[in-house]
Amino acid sequence: MNHDSYNQAATYGQSSTHGAPGAWCDFNDADAQQGEFNLIPKGTQALVRMAIKPGGYDDASRGWTGGYATASDETGAVFLSCEFVLLTGSFAKRKIWSNVGLHSNKGPTWAQMGRSFIKAVLNSSRNIHPDDASPEAQRARQIRSFGDLDGAEFAARIGIEKDGQGEYRNIIRLVIEPDHKEYADLMQAKLQRDGGTGGGSGGAPAMASPASAAPAPQSGASYTPRPGNAQSRPAWAQ
Going by their DSSP bridges, the two strands 153-162 and 168-176 should be labelled as antiparallel
Q: Where are the alpha helices (DSSP H) in the chain?
A: 3-14, 109-125, 135-140, 183-194
Indicate the pTM of the whole model: 0.72
**C-alpha torsion angle, residues 110, 116, 121, 126 (rounded to 10):** 150
Distance CA 207, CA 139 (A): 13
Instruction: Write out pLDDT tens, residues 131-157.
Output: 999 999 999 999 999 999 999 999 999
Question: What's the pLDDT at 36?
Answer: 66
Question: How many residues are present in the chain?
Answer: 238
Instruction: Write out pLDDT tens, residues 195-215.
Output: 765 444 444 545 444 434 344
Dmax (CA) of the chain: 79
For residue 12, CA distances in Å to 3, 28, 32 come to 14, 13, 21
- Among 88, 121, 146, 154, smallest CA distance to 237 is for 121
- Among 91, 75, 104, smallest CA distance to 38 is for 91
How many Cβ atoms from other residues are within 10 Å of residue 17's Cβ? 7
Question: What's the pLDDT at 18?
Answer: 53
Contact predicate 126/143, CB 8 Å:
no
**Which parts of the chain have pLDDT scores under 70?**
1-21, 34-36, 196-238
3-state secondary structure of 130: coil
Question: What's the pLDDT at 27?
Answer: 86
Question: What's the pLDDT at 147?
Answer: 96
